[in-house]
Structure 1
Amino acid sequence: MKITDVKLDVVSIPRHTGFVCQHAIVRILTDDGVTGIGEMSDFSHLPKYSIDVRDLEETLKAQLAGRNPFDLIALNRELGELYPETMYYYEKGTFIRCGVDIALHDLAGKALGVNVSELLGGRVRDKLKVCYPIFRSRTTEEAKANVDVVRRRFAQGFDAFRLYAGVNPEADEAFLDAVRREFGSRVTIKSLDFSHLLDWKSALRAAKRLMPYGVQLIESPAERNDFEGLRQFRTAVDLPVSEHVWSFRQLHEMIRADSADIFNIALIFIGGFGAARKAAAAAEVAGKGVLIGTTQELSLGTAAQALFGAGLTNLAAISDPTGPELYVDDVTAEPVRYENGYLLVPDAALPGIGMEIDWDKVERLRVPGFSWGAQKVANLQDRTVTTGGERP
């Protein structure tokens, strides 16, 4: 079997907050007629520049055409040379490598007639506990709107939430206080996510104010790549500290500095299944736990995240992939399923990733390429253009 072509279909889909995200659906075609499908998720992040999708398509075709799709290690190593790590959280190169790697795994699974979970070594669970994100409250009015989000999502079965915090501690406290008074122990605040917006001392002051509301862990409470600051924060609090993993050098420095308890690993931020498994293994060797992170993927990317999490033996916290619930539309025939606050892993009997693309939906949502609107930095950080909350 040889790869014959690579196709990229860019789709544009709004979130319920009004923020519009662009994703690329990856198709890797072969001379045997088997096609692997992947997802480059949510290119609408900082840094605010776009990639020429047709040039990217030609570049990937030139690199992959004529190759054996089962040569996953060699192909991923070469992609890592084309799109190297930069020690930046939203580096577009890892998004590209991730989408291709998912498609290669999907292709291999389909060719062999097995689910990708078998290629990854099997499963130790069939569902993952997940949390719903509450985006940053910059005013107390936005905090009130976010309480409404909790009400709606709790009615749908979500009982764990992740709060993006730190810009307005008064608004954060108003939100947490309202949720505790209304829901009590029925709702879990999985984490305060400071998203690297504060230095560690400022994050510590905010965290100490908010921790009494029953928070389980703290995420990203220092500036990016401030490993010493992250360590200082960790030694000053009793809660576990989590940090996202976006490069192997960064992971090495965090392990060396002993600066985190739990590593937040998402396929999109580290470059696909192979890189994510390597990062999780390094964490396990270092005695660290893992949670599954997210950029808020569509159903295909979320299914891939679920398959990765299904085989982890050091999954140590509630995970984050709830992207399909945030968007007003999707590209799969059926979305991934959530039940009682859990993400269900795709059926083990389904080959590949286990998701079917609805190409009529892709055509309806298609845009010519990646582009930017007039979003301000705060919109890009908070993934919203509305005044708090989200559209019902």
Structure 2
Amino acid sequence: MRITDVKLTAIGIPRLTGFVNKHVIVQIFTDEGVEGIGEMSDFSHLPKYSVDIVDLERTLKQILIGSNPFDISPINVELNGNFPEAMYYYEKGSFIRNGVDTALYDVCAKAMNVSVSDLLGGRIREKMKVCFPIFRHRFMDEVEENIALVRKQYEKGFDVFRLYVGKNVDADEAFLDRVYKEFDGNVRIKSFDFSHLLDWKDALRITRRLSKYPVDLIESPAFRNDFEGLRHFRLQCELPVSEHVWSLRQQYEMIKQDSVDIFNIAPVFIGGMTSARKAADAAGVAGKSVLIGTTQELSIGTTAMSYFGSTLDNLNYISDPTGPELYVGDVVKTKVHYENGYLHLPDRSTVGLGMELDWDQIEQYRVETLSWDDVSVHQLQDRTGQTRV
């Protein structure tokens, strides 16, 4: 079997907040008529430049056409050479490698008439507990909006939430107080997420103030790549500390410094399931736990993460992939399935990823380029259409 063509389709789908995220759908075609699909998720991240999708498609054709899709490892070596790892978790090269890697697994599983699970070594679990995100408060009047959001999602079965914190701590505290009074322990906060926006000392001060309310863990409480700062925070905080993995070198530094308790691993940030499995294995060797992170993917990317997460024996914390619940639409005929706060894997009898493209929806959300709209840094950081300053 040989790859004969590669096609990229850019789409822009609004979130429920009004913020439009741009993604790229990947199609890989073969000489045996088997087609694989993948997702380059959420290019709407800083740094504020865009990838030329026409040029990217041409480049991927040069790399992939003529290759055997089962050569996933050597293809990933080639992709890493062309789109190298960087010490930054929104590195667009990682998004690109992730989309191609996912499509390769889909092609190979379809060619063998098996589920992607069979290529990854089976399943330890059929579902993953996930949490719904509450984005960062900047104004006190946003507390009521977010309490209403918790009510709505709780009715849909989500009973665990993660809270982005640190811009308006008074509002963060007011929100937590309302949650624990109104829901009487039936709603749980998984994490306070600082998103690398604060120095570790400021994050520690805020954590001590807010942790009078129950929380499972603290996420990203130091500036990016401040491994010593993470370690200082961890040694002075009683709660487990989690950090994203965006390169194997960065993970090595966190292991060497003993900076974290939990590695937050998402294929999109490290370049696909192939690299994510390396990161999860490294976490296991270091005696660390894992949770599955997210950039809030659509259903294709979320399904791939569910397959990846189902294989891990050190997935000990509630994970994050709820992206399909945050958008007004999707690009597949049947979205991923959530029930009672769990992300359910497709049935084991499903072939490939188990996702079928919906071209009516794709045409509805298709865009010609990944160029930027007029959005501010705070809108990008907090994934909101809100323009107040």
TM over 0.5: yes
Q: Secondary structure at the match of 1:184?
A: coil
**For residues 26-45 of structure 1, what are the structure 2 equivalents within 5 Å?**
26-45=26-45
| Bigger shift: residues 230-239 or 357-366 | 357-366
1:284 equivalent in alignment to 2:297: no
1:234 equivalent in alignment to 2:230: no
Where does residue 243 of structure 2 map in the other structure? 243
Alpha-carbon deviation of 1:8?
A: 0.2
Alpha-carbon deviation of 1:129?
A: 0.1
Where does residue 380 of structure 2 map in the other structure? 380
CA offsets per residue over residues 331-350 of structure 1, 9 Å max, x none?
A: 01011000000000111111
Letter in 2 for 1:66: G
Letter in 2 for 1:379: Q
Alpha-carbon deviation of 1:387?
A: 7.5
Where does residue 366 of structure 1 map in the other structure? 366
For 2:100 and 2:127, how far apart are their aligned partners in 1? 25
Query: Is the 1:142–1:387 Cα contact (8 Å) retained in structure 2?
Result: no
Where does residue 300 of structure 1 map in the other structure? 300
1:64 equivalent in alignment to 2:39: no
Uncovered stretches (5+) of structure 1, i.e. residues with no partner: none
Q: Secondary structure at the match of 2:221?
A: coil
For 2:147 and 2:65, how far apart are their aligned partners in 1? 51
CA offsets per residue over residues 185-237 of structure 1, 9 Å max, x none?
A: 10010000000000000000000001111011000000000000000000001
Query: Is the 2:379–2:385 Cα contact (8 Å) retained in structure 1?
Result: yes
For 2:325 and 2:96, how far apart are their aligned partners in 1? 23
Letter in 1 for 2:298: L
Where does residue 322 of structure 2 map in the other structure? 322
**For residues 1-392 of structure 1, what are the structure 2 equivalents within 5 Å?**
1-386=1-386
For 2:223 and 2:184, how far apart are their aligned partners in 1? 32
Letter in 1 for 2:57: E
Query: Is the 1:99–1:272 Cα contact (8 Å) retained in structure 2?
Result: yes
Q: Secondary structure at the match of 1:373?
A: coil
For 1:45 and 1:302, how far apart are their aligned partners in 2? 18
For 1:271 and 1:85, how far apart are their aligned partners in 2? 8
State, as a whole percentage, how many aligned pairs show the same letter. 63
| Bigger shift: residues 66-75 or 344-353 | 344-353
Q: Secondary structure at the match of 1:360?
A: helix
TM-score by length of 1: 0.98
Letter in 1 for 2:335: P
For 1:116 and 1:387, how far apart are their aligned partners in 2? 42
Letter in 2 for 1:336: V
For 2:143 and 2:312, how far apart are their aligned partners in 1? 35
CA offsets per residue over residues 259-301 of structure 1, 9 Å max, x none?
A: 0000000010011111000000000000000000000000110
Q: Secondary structure at the match of 2:328?
A: coil
| Bigger shift: residues 213-222 or 352-361 | 352-361
For 1:217 and 1:364, how far apart are their aligned partners in 2? 39
Alpha-carbon deviation of 1:386?
A: 3.0
Letter in 1 for 2:234: R
Query: Is the 2:379–2:386 Cα contact (8 Å) retained in structure 1?
Result: no
- Give the superposed CA RMSD: 0.8
| Bigger shift: residues 176-185 or 353-362 | 353-362
Letter in 1 for 2:148: D
For 2:210 and 2:184, how far apart are their aligned partners in 1? 16
Q: Secondary structure at the match of 2:269?
A: helix
For 1:364 and 1:306, how far apart are their aligned partners in 2? 27
Letter in 2 for 1:240: P
Letter in 2 for 1:43: F
Per the alignment, do residues 162 and 387 of structure 1 end up closer, same or farther by CA in structure 2, a change over 3 Å counting? farther
Uncovered stretches (5+) of structure 2, i.e. residues with no partner: none
Alpha-carbon deviation of 1:361?
A: 1.3
Letter in 2 for 1:179: V
TM-score by length of 2: 0.99
CA offsets per residue over residues 288-340 of structure 1, 9 Å max, x none?
A: 00000000000110000100001100001000000000000000101100000
For 1:125 and 1:243, how far apart are their aligned partners in 2? 24
For 1:310 and 1:357, how far apart are their aligned partners in 2? 23
Query: Is the 1:166–1:203 Cα contact (8 Å) retained in structure 2?
Result: yes
Letter in 1 for 2:245: V
CA offsets per residue over residues 51-97 of structure 1, 9 Å max, x none?
A: 00000000000110011000000000110010001101100000000
Q: Which runs of 4+ in 1 moved over 4 A?
A: none
For 1:258 and 1:144, how far apart are their aligned partners in 2? 39
Alpha-carbon deviation of 1:98?
A: 0.1
Query: Is the 1:108–1:352 Cα contact (8 Å) retained in structure 2?
Result: yes
Letter in 1 for 2:125: R
Q: Secondary structure at the match of 1:76?
A: helix
Letter in 1 for 2:271: G
Q: Secondary structure at the match of 1:44?
A: coil
Letter in 2 for 1:70: F
For 1:133 and 1:364, how far apart are their aligned partners in 2? 26
For 2:282 and 2:131, how far apart are their aligned partners in 1? 25
